[in-house]
Amino acid sequence: MNITDIKATWLEYDKKLQETQTLNQKLITSMISERSRSRVAGIQRQFAGTAALTFFWLTVIIAILLGNPFDYTRAIEYAPVVLLALSFISILILTGTASTALRKVNINQTSLAGSINEIIRVYHKPDRFLKMTVIAMFSAGLMFPLSFLPRKIEKVGVGTAVIDTIIPMTISLLLYFAAVKLGAFKQKHIEGLKGDLDELAELKALSNDLTNT
Amino acid sequence: MMEKIFIDTVNKHRGIIYKICNLYCDDQEDRKDLFQEIILQLWKGFPSFRGESSHSTWMYRVALNTAISNFKKEKKRPRPNSLSDHHFQIPDTPSFAQSEDLQALNTAISKLNEVDKAIIILYLDENSYDEIADIIGITRTNVGVRINRIKTKLENLLKSDRS
């Protein structure tokens, strides 16, 4: 088959497609109302998840600050909790800013090359926030015993108080490492990450292909 | 009112979406998912479409951008409110199986890479080199070079398929 035959065959195909039944209003409306499976929408949902988790932890921390369930008597005792609250607030602000920027992404007015590059840029956005959320959450567990340190120093002296604080912090750290080593977070996280990285590599290859034409 | 104009526009050029879905997805379920995503993206972009290009050029742009760069391929799992709930089928090439040539052409195009597929669809649908350059984002000269390369590749694929 030469190119003339190819074109004729293609036009025959096109004609047959145009003869198919038209799409009704109900079907198109239902398509519009369904959940988007675009890459940008997926990343938006990731941001929403990060924001919800951060908001939950922020609420817990604010409740601790307001209710004072651990009977803190000095301002310094609040330091670890305040630091955590500030880090969660920062994550919320950054996630909100990135989410707003993402809403402005419009791949429908650009060329295929522009669209691929835009999606690659969007792909790199959530990494930072996800890492920050994980670090902030694990810091919460590690830093919490520090808030009791001043009281302990007063009661049992510096040496014993430091040891008494380091022990629960070390236990938290060991439990965290054991959980990581045993693969508690591995399966789901790695699978998702691998999928994302594969797609990113695929898009980068397409982008290079277009650049090197 | 806008909804009616949108539906008429989609219907007028539905062949573009069918062709892209058929060539970028292997099975009917994936095609339906891609079809739905393209309709959704077209709907989102419709209010900002200012008529700087023709409706068909805009539809090629959105459909190809969605199929190649913006469509999230998820693992197969039953999803609520899936399009499969609707009695809707994308007319694929096997339903036009009377034409062996068409089957062979479809198989040959499927073997091309994603960008080459997009270029040959645009070429076979008789878009000008300028339009193809604008939709893909490469220069007019590169479009010419690339089309010649793809034509040779396609002819060879079709020859090897026949022998």
Which residue has 């930072």 as its token pair? A128
**b/e per residue A69-101 (b: at least 16 CB within 10 A):** eeebeeeebbbbbebbbebbeebbebbeebbee
Q: Is residue A17, in this structure, part of any structural domain at all?
A: no
Domain with CATH 1.10.1740.10 in chain B: 1-91
Q: Does A204 touch chain B (CB under 8 A)?
A: no
DSSP, collapsed to helix, strand or coil, labels residue A156 as helix
Asked, for residue A184, whether it belongs to a domain, the answer is: yes
Provide DSSP, chain B. -HHHHHHHHHHHTHHHHHHHHHHH-SSHHHHHHHHHHHHHHHHHHGGG--SSS-HHHHHHHHHHHIIIIIB--------TT-GGGS------GGGGTT-HHHHHHHHHHHTS-HHHHHHHHHHHTT--HHHHHHHHTS-HHHHHHHHHHHHHHHHHHHHHHH-
Within-domain flag for A31: no
A25, part of any domain:
no
Is A24 domain-assigned?
Answer: no
Overall number of domains in chain A:
1
CA distance B72 to A41: 9
pLDDT tens digits for range A136-160: 777 777 888 888 888 899 899 999 9
CB-closest option in A1, A27, A114 to B158: A1
Q: Is A166 helix (H, G, I), strand (E, B) or coil?
A: helix
- Tell me the whole-structure pTM to 2 decimals: 0.79
Question: Which pLDDT tens digit goes with each residue over B56-80?
Answer: 999 999 999 999 988 877 655 555 5
Inside any domain, residue A3: no
Residue A4 in any domain: the answer is: no
Which of 59-118 (B) contact A at CB < 8 A? 61-62, 64-66, 68-74, 81, 83, 86, 88, 91, 93, 96, 99, 101-102, 104-105, 113-115, 118
Chain A, window 95-134: residues with a beta carbon less than 8 angstroms from a chain B beta carbon: 106-116, 118-119
- Whether B25 has a pLDDT exceeding 70, the answer reads yes
Listed in order, the ranges of chain B carrying CATH 1.10.10.10 are: 95-163
Task: For domain B1-91, give the CATH number.
Answer: 1.10.1740.10
CA distance A136 to A138: 6
Closest to A134 measured CA to CA, from A168, A179, A97: A179
For chain B, what's the residue count?
Answer: 163
Residue A32 inside a domain? The answer is no
Tell me, what's the ipTM? 0.81
Q: What is the pLDDT of residues B113-162, one digit of tens each?
A: 999 999 999 999 999 999 999 999 999 999 999 999 999 999 898 888 76
In terms of residue numbers, what domain contains A128?
Answer: 37-211
Reported residue count of chain A is 213
Q: Does A19 touch chain B (CB under 8 A)?
A: no
Instruction: Give contacts of B 8-37 with A, CB under 8 A.
Output: 10-11, 14-15, 18-19, 33, 35-37
CATH-assigned architecture of domain B95-163: Orthogonal Bundle (1.10)
